[in-house]
Amino acid sequence: MEYGNRSKTRWSLVGETALVTGGSKGIGYAIVEELAELGATVHTCSRNEEELNKCPQKWQEKKFKVTGSVCDVSSRPERENLMETVKSVFQGRLTILVNNAGTGFIKAAEEITEKEYSFLMATNLESAFHITQLAHPLLKASGGGSVVFNSSLAGLQGIENLSLYCTTKGAMNQLTKSLACEWAKYNIRCNAVAPGAIETPS
């Protein structure tokens, strides 16, 4: 098979339903487009309504089936609202979850404030854990599915002034491995990807 002439039949995702968090720009945007191009119906979210609203128009032009709603994944009630929306959009069934939304900052460990600690843990780790928990009944209702965590090389190695970011991604890797063991019985695969530095608009 030629990579440049990817076989849509071999790699078809027609009939699959996917939630990709943080799909209005950057890596998440590319994931949304890739899944939609392969035929999946996708829902995505981000915090900035104006930016998010610009996306469906572009996706409609490409005939992609993508919807979006505003959600700050660091907020527990907003995560619950998001999953209610997803449940309704996909009639209670989800087959792909990509926990992509995340952020980071460069700062000496000794200078990180309590607020910054809570913010990064909630955005990068707690959100992925809770959204995956919320997605569980929808994945099970589909007879199984795939959960992908967008981790980072920073979760595999120590990096100066990125200790907190590295911690969130390292914990995400452990979460992935444990869930992979725990949810295999439901036919739910759990994997993490660990990108290196990727230039995005943010």
Q: Give whichever of 101 and 179 is closer to ligand NAP, judged by the CB atom.
A: 101
If 0-12 CB within 10 Å is exposed, 13-18 middle and 19+ buried, where does residue 201 land?
A: exposed
Cα–Cα distance for residue pair 148/87, rounded to 1 Å: 19
Q: Is residue 68 a contact residue for ligand NAP (CB under 6 A)? A: no
Contact with ligand NAP (CB under 6 A) among 132, 150, 167, 176 = 150
Q: Judged by CB under 6 A, does residue 100 bind ligand NAP?
A: yes
Q: Which two tokens stand for residue 179?
A: 């869930």
| 152 binds ligand NAP, rule: CB under 6 A | yes
What's the rounded Cα separation, in Å, for the pair 186 and 176? 15
Using CB under 6 A, which residues numbered 23 to 42 contact ligand NAP?
23-28
For residue 1, the minimal CB distance to ligand NAP (Å) is 28
CB of 143 to ligand NAP, least distance (A): 28
Minimum distance from residue 83 beta carbon to ligand NAP (Å): 13
Residue 68's φ and ψ, nearest 5 degrees, are: -145, 155
Tell me which residue of 164, 187, 172 sits closest to 100, measured CA to CA. Answer: 172
The DSSP code for 65 is -
Short-list 163, 176, 171, CA closest to 117: 163
Cβ proximity to ligand NAP: between 96 and 142 the closer is: 96
Window contacting ligand NAP (CB under 6 A); options: 46-54, 83-91, 134-142, 184-192: 46-54
Q: Applying CB under 6 A, which of residues 37, 38, 39, 47 lies at the interface with ligand NAP?
A: 47
Hey, which residues are catalytic here? 165
**Two structure tokens written together for 23:** 């799909």
CB-nearer residue toward ligand NAP: 74 or 167: 74
CB 130 within 8 A of CB 83: no
Give the nearer residue to ligand NAP in terms of CB position, either 9 or 202. Answer: 202
Q: Does 130 bind ligand NAP (CB under 6 A)?
A: no
In which order are the strands placed within the sheet that holds 41-46? 66-70, 41-46, 17-21, 96-99, 145-150, 188-193
Count residues contacting ligand NAP (CB under 6 A)? 31
Q: Applying CB under 6 A, which residues contact ligand NAP?
A: 21-28, 45-48, 51, 71-74, 100-104, 123, 150, 152, 195, 197-198, 200-202
